[in-house]
Structure 1
Amino acid sequence: MHDKIVAHPRVGDKPLNPKDLFIVPAYRYQALAASGGPAQTGQIDAESPRHARSLLREQGWHVLSLELAAAQGASAQRLKLGGAELSTLTRQFSALLDAGLTIDELLVVLAEQAEQGKTRQILAGLRHDVLAGLPLSSAMDQFPRVFPLLYRTLVKAGEESGRLGAVMARLADYLEARGELNSKITMAFIYPAVVIGVSLLVILGMLTWVVPQMVQVFESAKQTLPLLTRLLLWSSAAVKTIGPYLALGLLLAGVAAHRALQDPALQLRFHRWRLSWPVLGYLDRLANTARFASTLSILVGSGVPLLKALTAAEGVMSNRQLQLAVGEVAGQVREGVSLARAMKAANEFPPLLLHLVASGEATGRLAAMLERAASEQSKELDRKVTTFTSLLGPLMVLVMGAIVMLIVLAILLPVFEMNQLVK
C-alpha cells in the first residue's frame, strides 16, 4: 500500500491537532474503460471506497472490484513488527488515549509520526476498519503476526471494561519488561559465544596452517615422533580431508533435525527431554513460567475471565510440554478445580508460583500475587543466567586454552628431542 499523509501543521510549540491530519489510503481496483477493451488494474488514493468509485467513474472507468490496498489476507499475515517497535507503539497508544484522543484521531497521529512504511500500512488498515465500525480488537485480527492473541485479548478486555488506556499502559509495561529480560539473556550469552567462536577459529587455524608447516621439519628429521605429536598430525590431516564433509554433514543434520521437530509429537518429546537438562532445563522452565505468570497477571487484572486468560497465556509458553500442562490446568479449572490445585496436579510449575497463586486465590488478590510471582521468577532467572554465564566464560577460556596448550606442546616436543640429539 502507498499511504499518503496530507497536512502537517507544526508551528512553533503549537500542539498538533489530529483533526488537521488525514490519512488518504490507497485502493486497488479492477475496471473496464468506457471505450471498451480488456479489464485494467490499478491503484487510486481516496477517502473511502465510495469516494474511490466516484473518482474512477469520473475518469470513465466501470469498476469491477475494489479493495483497500492496506495489507489484507496473505499480505497481512506476513507483516510483523519487532518487539521494541510494538512496545513503543503501545506506549504511544496509551499516552494518546490518556490525552483524550479518540481511536480514529490517535491512529492518524501515530501514522503521521511513524517512520517505517509498514507501520503506516498497519495503522492505515486499522483506521479503515475502525471507520467501518469495527472495534479496535477486531481490526487487529487482520494483523495476527503484529498483534498476537494476548495483545488482542487485552485490547478487547479494555474495550469492554472502558479502561482501554489503563490496559494499554499495562500492556506496554509488560512488553518492555519482557524485551528487557530477553535482552539481558541475549547479552549474557554473547561473551561465552564470542570466546568459543574465536577459540575454535584459532584451533582450526593452527591445525590447518601451522601444523602442516611443521610436518616437513618432522619428516626430514626421520625420527620417531612422540604420541601426542602423532595424534596432532592425524587430527590435522583429518580436518583437512574430512573437515568440509563433516561440516556439511553437521549442516544437513541440523536442517533435518529442524524439519523433524516440526512434527508435534517429536517436538513434544524433545521439549520434555529439554526440561530434564541439568542447568538449561531449569532456566527454560523458569523463563516460561515467569512469562506465564506475568501474562496471566495482566489478563486477570484487566478483567479477562480466568479460562480465557489461561488460553491466551498458553500461547506465550515456548515449551510444548509446558503448553500441554497449561491446557490441562485450564481443563481442570473448567471442571471447578481451583487454579492452585490444578497447577499443582500438573507437576510442572515451581513451588513459589504455586504458593503465591494459592495465596492470591485465598485473599482475592490473584492478579497481584501472579505479578509478584512473575517478578520474583524474573529476578531468579536473571541471577541464574548471570551466574551461569559468568562461570561459563572462564570455563571456556580454560578449556580452549588447554586445547591450544596441547597443540603447542605437541609441536614443541619433537623440537626438544631434536635438541637433545644434537647435544
Structure 2
Amino acid sequence: MKERFIFIVNDLVARARRVGIEKEAEYLTQNLGLLLSSGVDVVSALKSIEAGVKHPEMRRIIAVMRSKLAEGNTLAQAFEESGAFSPRVATLIRIGEESGQLVEHFSMIGVQEEKQRELTGKVQSALLYPVFVLLVTAMVGIGVSWFILPKLARVFTQLKLQLPFITQMILGFGKFLGQYGAIALPLGALLFAVLVYIIFFYPATRRIGETILWSIPGIRTLIQEVELSRLGFVFGGLLKSGVPILESIELLRGSTSMTRYQALYAHLGHRVSEGDSLAQAFASFPRFNALVPAPVEEIIVTGSQSGHLADVLTRVGKAYEEKSDVSSRNLAIILEPLLLFIIWIAVVLVALGVILPIYNLVGSINHH
C-alpha cells in the first residue's frame, strides 16, 4: 500500500513537471533544427537556446545535455538520457546522425510533435464542453442544496407535513450540507479528484476510464479517428525516416496513451518479430477491426505488399486527421441530448421533491 501511494505521488509530480516543460521541449527541438541548418555547431546552438528558455527545469536539462556532449556522447544519447523527450525523438535524432540527415530529421520531429499535440488536444477540447456543463450543473445543485433546502426544510417542519420519501432524501442532503458543508465539500472534491485520477490516469486502472469513454457515442468515434491519424503520421513518418519496422512499431506504441492501441501495437511488434506479415499479425489480434476498420486494414496490407507502406500510412493519417476535425466539431451536438437528459432528470427530482409536499398541503386545505 505504501509503495502504491509513493508511485501515485511520483506519477503526479512527473505529470506536473511535464506540463511545465512540454512547450519548452518543443521550443528546443524547433530552434535546434533551425540553428543546425544555419551551420551553427550543436554545443553553441544548445547554449543559445538555453539563454532563451524560461523554465528552470528545462535550463537544467539543457545544461546536462551540453555536459553529455562535452563528455563525447552523441546528440541522440544526450536527448535520451535527459528524460524530457520521448524515445521517438531520440531515435529520429540517432537515425539522422547515422545517415547525415540530422537537419531533415529535426524537421520531421517538429512535424510529428506538432501532430501529437494537435491530436491529443482534439480529444481534450472535445471533452471540455460536456465536463464544463456537468460541473456547472453540479455547482448549481450544491448551491441550492446548501443555501435553500435547509430553509425549506424548516418551513416543512413547522407545517408538520408528511413528506414523501424523495423529499426526505433531498431535504436530508440539504440539512447535511447546511451543517457539515464547509468540511464535506472540500473533502468530497478531493475524493472526486482522486477517483478521476484512479479511473482515467493511474496505469493499473485507467483502462476503466477508457472503457467509459469508449462506450459514449461520438467520443469513441473521435478517439478511433485520432488514433488512426496518429498511426498514419507516426508510423509512416518513422518508416520514411529510415527507422526499421520493428523499432517503428515499438515507438508507435509509446506515442499513444490508449491501452487498447498499446496492446495492439505490442501484439504487432511480437508477431512481426516472429516473421509474420502485417496481414497475419492483424488477423491474429482479437477484434482487430473494432480498433482499425476493415478498409484501413486492407489499405495498409496492400501498401506493405506493394512496398509503399510509408506513403500509404501518411495518406491514412491525413484522411483521418480530416475526419477527426469534423468529429471534434460535431461532438458537442451529438452529446447535447445526453447532457440535456441528465440535467432534466436532476431538475425533475428536485422539482418533485419540493412540489409534492406543497401539493399535499393544498390538497389537505381543500379537503378541510
Per the normalisation by structure 2, the TM-score is 0.78
1:255 and 1:405 map into 2 onto residues whose CA distance is: 27
SS at match of 1:381: helix
1:114 and 1:255 map into 2 onto residues whose CA distance is: 33
1:260 and 1:121 map into 2 onto residues whose CA distance is: 28
**Quick check: which one's strand share is greater?**
1
Query: In the alignment, which residue of structure 2 is the partner of 1:323?
Result: 262
Query: In the alignment, which residue of structure 1 is the partner of 2:75?
Result: 136
**Residue 391 (str. 1) matches residue 334 (str. 2):** yes
Query: In the alignment, which residue of structure 2 is the partner of 1:186?
Result: 124
Task: Please point out which of 98, 107, 118 is paired with 1:169.
Answer: 107
SS at match of 1:133: coil
Query: In the alignment, which residue of structure 2 is the partner of 1:149?
Result: 87
* 1:212 and 1:236 in contact (8 A); partners too: yes
Cα pair distance change 1:260/1:380, threshold 3 Å: closer
* 2:53 and 2:59 in contact (8 A); partners too: yes
Cα pair distance change 1:182/1:253, threshold 3 Å: closer
Q: 5+ residue gaps in structure 1?
A: 1-75
SS at match of 1:237: helix
Cα pair distance change 1:402/1:130, threshold 3 Å: same
Task: Give the share of equivalent positions with the same residue, in percent.
Answer: 24
Task: Please point out which of 295, 304, 307 is paired with 1:364.
Answer: 307
Task: Please point out which of 246, 251, 262 is paired with 1:307.
Answer: 246
Cα pair distance change 1:188/1:256, threshold 3 Å: closer
* 1:111 and 1:123 in contact (8 A); partners too: yes
What are the equivalent positions in structure 2 for 1:12-411 lying under 5 Å apart?
A: 80=18, 82-144=21-83, 146-225=84-163, 227=164, 230-238=165-173, 240-241=175-176, 244=184, 247=188, 251=192, 254=195, 257=198, 262-263=203-204, 270=208, 277-279=215-217, 280-346=219-285, 347=288, 348-393=291-336, 395-411=338-354
Which structure has the larger Rg?
1
* 1:329 and 1:339 in contact (8 A); partners too: yes
Code of the residue aligned with 2:148 in structure 1: it is: V
Per the normalisation by structure 1, the TM-score is 0.69
Cα pair distance change 1:275/1:216, threshold 3 Å: closer
Deviations 1:206-232 (A, max 9, x none): 22331221223323334445x4xx512
Residue 301 of structure 1 deviates from its aligned partner by 0.8
Cα pair distance change 1:250/1:128, threshold 3 Å: closer
Which has the higher mean CA deviation after the structures are superposed, 272-281 or 401-410? Answer: 272-281
Deviations 1:87-112 (A, max 9, x none): 22221122112212221221122122
1:297 and 1:231 map into 2 onto residues whose CA distance is: 58
Q: 5+ residue gaps in structure 2?
A: 1-13
Code of the residue aligned with 2:343 in structure 1: it is: M
1:275 and 1:220 map into 2 onto residues whose CA distance is: 47
Cα pair distance change 1:274/1:300, threshold 3 Å: farther
SS at match of 1:315: helix
**Quick check: which one's helix share is greater?**
2
* 1:288 and 1:318 in contact (8 A); partners too: no
2:118 and 2:197 map into 1 onto residues whose CA distance is: 33
Alignment RMSD (CA, Å): 3.5
1:178 and 1:259 map into 2 onto residues whose CA distance is: 19
Code of the residue aligned with 1:191 in structure 2: it is: Y
* 2:33 and 2:107 in contact (8 A); partners too: yes
* 2:96 and 2:103 in contact (8 A); partners too: yes
Deviations 1:225-257 (A, max 9, x none): 5x4xx5123222045449849948955983895
Cα pair distance change 1:275/1:214, threshold 3 Å: closer
1:275 and 1:406 map into 2 onto residues whose CA distance is: 26
Aligned length: 340
Tell which has more relative contact order, 1 or 2 (C-alpha 8 A, sep 6+): 2
Cα pair distance change 1:411/1:96, threshold 3 Å: same
